Structure 1
Amino acid sequence: MPGSPITSSARGVFAIAPTPFTPDGAVDTTSLDRLTDFYTASGVTGITVLGQLGEAPKLAHDEAVAIAARVVRRVQVPVVVGVSAPGFAAMRSLTAAVMDAGAAGVMIAPPNTLRTDDQITAYYRNAAQAIGPDVPFVIQDYPLTFSVVMTPKVIRAIVAENPGCVMLKHEDWPGLEKISALRGFERDGSMRRLSILCGNGGLFLDFETERGADGAMTGYCFPDMLVELVELAARGEREAAHDLFDAHLPLLRYEQQPGVGLAVRKYVFARRGILDHEAQRAPAATLSAAARAEVDLLLERLARRDGRARLSPLAR
């Protein structure tokens, strides 16, 4: 059942879902259903599929649509779909298909060829035209991966030009001052309200919420912790929020390593009994025996403070 379209008032946690695969590279629909149910049980506000760590570039168009449609049918929360593509024709086609399937909006990342402010604003202007005026969309601001730097003023210009732009997936690093600047624009009336959900695995979520972020849109392997953290922050329970965050920080940091982060995430989801396989579709990075042992140690230490990390070992 589709959720309502995303709006600029969105808050909470939108879980970035990995795409489950079987060892032979097929989409693992059984694990996908279990993962979807787990996110719902964790209390997430929404789910984002086909994001940067959803292995979207490795999927055929029909596979991507089928995954999005399957998740939409299974939940009652909004589902955002990553539609970033090398060209606008592919973006338009995927957007039309997933919106017809009941998606609540789409997420668009900038291509790494953009360098100037004018190029960035023109790109989002053209992207908005390609997907259509009635489709709400999310800006994915992730300069560490995309090599595209969006200043607060550029984001304000994109928001001003495109009524469909309702959300920022904020993944700049360092980026706390950017959040403050954007909220300052809202206070002085120079920018309409924009939902700001933060990524980077939640690595700075403890302070991002205090700077004015509305929550998280990320894929840390304990989304239930992210939900709890955002709720604590919203209630003003600062010490409890930081205590919870501090307990998870070593694992969160380890999972955020470039190149192997998705492998860590899938390994923990497998240990949590959510995914049947840790498999990624080729090309993929895998965890060495030493890395698995390190993740196991981090989980063991975390379990002393958070029982959710008390997990059975994987059968080998």
Structure 2
Amino acid sequence: MPLDETARGVYVIAPTPFHADGRIDEASTDRMTDAFLEAGCDGMTILGVMGEAPKLDQAEALDLSKRIIRRAARANVIVGVTAPGFAAMRALARGVMEAGAAGVMIAPPPSLRTDDAVAAYFRQAVEAIGEDIPWVLQDYPQLFQVQMTPGIIRRIIAECPSCVMLKHEDWPGLEKISALRGFQAEGSMRRISILCGNGGIFLDFEMERGADGAMTGYAFPDMLVDLVRLSAAGERDAAHDLFDAHLPLIRYELQPGIGLAVRKHVLRRRGIIASDAQRKPGSALSAKAVQEVEYLLARVGRHDPRARLAPL
């Protein structure tokens, strides 16, 4: 179904599985898709930052998207289409929507410095891909170096009716969620779905501030599913207890530079992907870092059996 403002739950950010020689691992891609849906995820977001999208050429990106969309037939798939130019953005966006994607995700280029420039960019992006495609506004200033206040987000939503979701990754960002839901309550902004990223590092309180769920790639998306469910049910202490048990590993995985290596290591250890390889250029865990991750898994495993993995 096309993405709309009612979307909620967990849309897991999927990595791209590779063989050691850099080829896309199709068997692991299928297994990963199945595992994420069996974990209870409501959808998947592919070709994002952690999907190593810039390392894929246009044909690979479209082929990978089609494969996951077919495999995840019962779930929504959002495809990151951010590109240096609108021609490439349009080609990928139209291609994945024709294949059955639920929507696309667009991030701003780092060159934007004023609210007017930000608003103009997204109007032009919508013109390029087509107003019929629902899309997600990615707000990740730590990476993209573009600051979007609640006011400019409200303006983008007003000027671009096909924007139905915010991927909220500002940090600190709890007050931004409250401000946006405040705009909605007073009637100055239409409702949009808000899903949160940043590895889930603030998801416990983001849910309480009005987020609809998570769009992130922590190596235990099944835990994120449980956390969102508990929060939505008002089981505050149970939600925070679960979050607290995983927080040390969430924090470790959030490190710039090696975060994807940590995530792929744990996904491999869980049997979800066959290799933790990244396409070059990429990072790798040192032997010491592997020991630290394994220590953290053992600690999480004291509280959550999903982390009790066989020793290396």
**TM-score class, shorter:** over 0.9
SS at structure 1 position matched to 2:226: helix
d(CA) in 1 for partners of 2:244, 2:28: 30
Q: Is the 8 A contact 1:42 1:227 kept in 2?
A: yes
SS at structure 1 position matched to 2:187: coil
Give the structure 1 partner of residue 185 of structure 2: 187
Give the structure 2 partner of residue 263 of structure 1: 261
Q: Is the 8 A contact 1:271 1:313 kept in 2?
A: no
- CA drift at 1:312: 2.0
Give the structure 1 partner of residue 27 of structure 2: 30
SS at structure 2 position matched to 1:123: helix
d(CA) in 1 for partners of 2:68, 2:280: 23
Unmatched runs of 5 consecutive residues or more in structure 1: none
d(CA) in 1 for partners of 2:137, 2:131: 15
Give the structure 2 partner of residue 228 of structure 1: 226
1:136-180 CA-to-partner distances (Å, cap 9, x unmatched) read: 000000000000000000000000011110000000000000000
Give the structure 2 partner of residue 118 of structure 1: 116
Give the structure 1 partner of residue 15 of structure 2: 18
Give the structure 2 partner of residue 312 of structure 1: 310
Matched, 1:53 2:71: no
d(CA) in 1 for partners of 2:4, 2:132: 12
d(CA) in 1 for partners of 2:195, 2:185: 18
The amino acid of 1:23's aligned partner reads: A
- Identity %, equivalent residues: 66
d(CA) in 2 for partners of 1:274, 1:227: 17
d(CA) in 1 for partners of 2:297, 2:149: 37
- CA drift at 1:19: 0.1
The amino acid of 1:237's aligned partner reads: E
Matched, 1:40 2:59: no
What TM-score comes out, normalization by structure 1 length? Answer: 0.98
d(CA) in 1 for partners of 2:274, 2:261: 14
* Match for residue 212 of structure 2 among 207, 211, 214: 214
Unmatched runs of 5 consecutive residues or more in structure 2: none
Q: Is the 8 A contact 1:171 1:200 kept in 2?
A: yes
SS at structure 1 position matched to 2:137: strand
Count of aligned residue pairs for this structure pair: 311
Matched, 1:279 2:273: no
* Match for residue 288 of structure 1 among 265, 286, 289: 286
SS at structure 2 position matched to 1:218: coil
SS at structure 2 position matched to 1:166: strand
What TM-score comes out, normalization by structure 2 length? Answer: 0.99
d(CA) in 2 for partners of 1:58, 1:173: 27
- CA drift at 1:313: 3.7
The amino acid of 1:43's aligned partner reads: G
- CA drift at 1:113: 0.5
Matched, 1:173 2:166: no
Q: What value does the CA root-mean-square deviation take over the aligned residues?
A: 0.5
d(CA) in 2 for partners of 1:9, 1:122: 26
1:70-95 CA-to-partner distances (Å, cap 9, x unmatched) read: 11111111100000000101100111
The amino acid of 1:288's aligned partner reads: S
SS at structure 2 position matched to 1:278: coil
* Match for residue 245 of structure 2 among 222, 244, 247: 247
